[in-house]
Every structure is written in structure tokens, then in C-alpha cells.
Amino acid sequence: MRLSMYLAGVGGQGLITFATVLGDAALRAGYKALIAETHGLSQRGGSVDVHVRIGDVDAPLIPRNGADVIVAFEILEALRAVNYANENTTFIVNRRLIRPPATKQRIPSIEELENMLRSSIKNVYFINAYEDAVKLGNVIYENMVMLGALYSIMNLSQYIPQDIIEEAIKMNIRRDVDRNIKAFMLGLRYGNTT
């Protein structure tokens, strides 16, 4: 088994925590996991990406056009991530637009961006992670909603039982464990409908 999952978002959206929970859960379930991240100056509110690879893997980076799934925490970043996609790649996209600072350019609306993605990508799912997280009281739960969506849409339960994910959330996110698990649960429903 080999799964390459490319995460794209904006610095501060919790991509590294997402990847750590997922990678730790995979390892607990008996799979090798590799996560490649960037720290330092590159993370201050700029575009960030994290490569998560699970199973029979050696190299830390996903090849171009080589991701099985792209999890975009922000919709413009989903468009930037297409370099990692091929025609079979599944896109899981947060319906959230974060305006890039210091640009005078007109940014298309979420609906327009959604249509662009739908017209060129076969398997694309849109997630209201921002709304779900705000309902739970804070936008910081967005990442666990996205994790739930990934888990159900990609059918990851065939490799990682759900209680192991919950355990990994407990072990890796020290604060507000209950609400983070709730956020994960909320995300699960996105796999049931298209």
C-alpha cells in the first residue's frame, strides 16, 4: 500500500498538526509514514504545503502529478496545488477563501473558484470546514474537520481504525481534545454525500 497525500493551505491553518495526527495514527496502525514540512520564514501567513506519505515509501516528497489526494485548506491553494495532481487525484477542498495580502488583483468569488475546480477535476469534494469549526467555537478546529472529511472520502478506515485516529488526536493535540474529536466527527459526514 502506498498513499501520497498533498496538503496545501495558508501558514497557521494547522497543516502540520493535521499531518502529525494522521502520520502518528498510520504508524500506530502498522504503516510507515513520512511527513515533509517547512518551518521558519516560509510559514508566516504565506502558502504552505506538507507532503504526507503512508505505506511502502522511502522518499519524503511526492512527485509532480503524483498525489493520490490533495487536501486544500483554502480554495486558492487548491488551484496552486494542481501541479501535484493527475486525472485520478481526489481533491478535498475547504470552502474558504483567504485573500492574499498586498495584491490589487481582483480575486474570483468562492463560487467562481469552485466552478473552475469542478470543470477541470473529476473527483472534487467541497467541505464547509470553516463553518463547522466556527460552530464548534473556533476556526482552529478547521483542520480536524478536514481530517474527518479525508478519512471518510478516501475510505481510510480500511487501513486505520477510527479509534486509532481518536487516540492520535489525544496524543498529539493537548488542548480541547473533545472538541477536536467532535470536529473530526463532523468531517466524517462529507464522505457520505457527493
Partner 1 sequence: MNNCIIKLMLGNHAIAHGVLEAGVAVAAGYPGTPSSEIMEYLIDYGKEFGVYAEWSSNEKVAFEVAYGAALAGSRAIVTMKHVGLNVAMDPLMSSAYTGVKGGFAIVTADDPNMWSSQNEQDNRWVGIHAYIPVFEPYDPQSAKDFTKNAIEFSEAHSHPVLLRSVTRVSHVRGPVTVCSPATPRYAEGYVKDPRRHALIPANARTLKNELLKRWSTIEKDVDQLPHNYIEGDRNLIITSGVAFTYALEAVKNYGVKASVLNVATPVPLPRKTILNAVSRADRVVVIEEGDPVVEQQLKALLYEEGIRVPILGKAENLFNRVGELTMNSVMDGLSKALDINNPLLSNHPIKVDYAPPPRPPVFCPGCPHTASFYELKISTAKAGVKPIFSGDIGCYSLGINNPFNEQDTLTDMGSSLGLGMGVYHGTRGKEVIVSIIGDSTFFHAGLPALVNAIYNKTPMLIMVLDNRVTAMTGGQPNPTNKIDIGEVAKSLGADYVSTVDPFEVKKAQEVISEALNVVRKGGVAVVVMKRGCALEATRLFRNYVTRYYVDENACKACGICYNLIACPALIPLESRKAWIDPYMCVGCSVCAQVCPYNAIKPEGDVKNWLSAWARM
Where on the chain is the footprint of partner 1 (CB under 8 A)?
Answer: 2, 10-11, 19-20, 23-24, 27, 32-47, 56-66, 76-77, 79-80, 82-83, 85-87, 89, 99-103, 105, 107-108, 113, 116-117, 120-121, 138-139
**Amino acid letter for position 43:** Q
Nearest distance from C-beta of residue 114 to partner 1, angstroms: 12
Our CB check for partner 1 shows the closer of 34 and 181 to be 34
Nearest distance from C-beta of residue 155 to partner 1, angstroms: 22
CA 18 distance to own-chain centroid: 7
Our CB check for partner 1 shows the closer of 54 and 188 to be 54
Cα–Cα nearest to 130, from 148, 116, 145: 145
Nearest distance from C-beta of residue 192 to partner 1, angstroms: 26
Cβ proximity of 88 and 78 under 8 Å = no
E strand map for the chain:
2-10, 33-36, 47-55, 69-72, 90-94, 123-127
95 contact partners, CB below 8 Å, separation of at least 6? 75, 110, 114, 126, 127, 128, 129, 130, 131
Nearest distance from C-beta of residue 47 to partner 1, angstroms: 4
Our CB check for partner 1 shows the closer of 75 and 188 to be 75
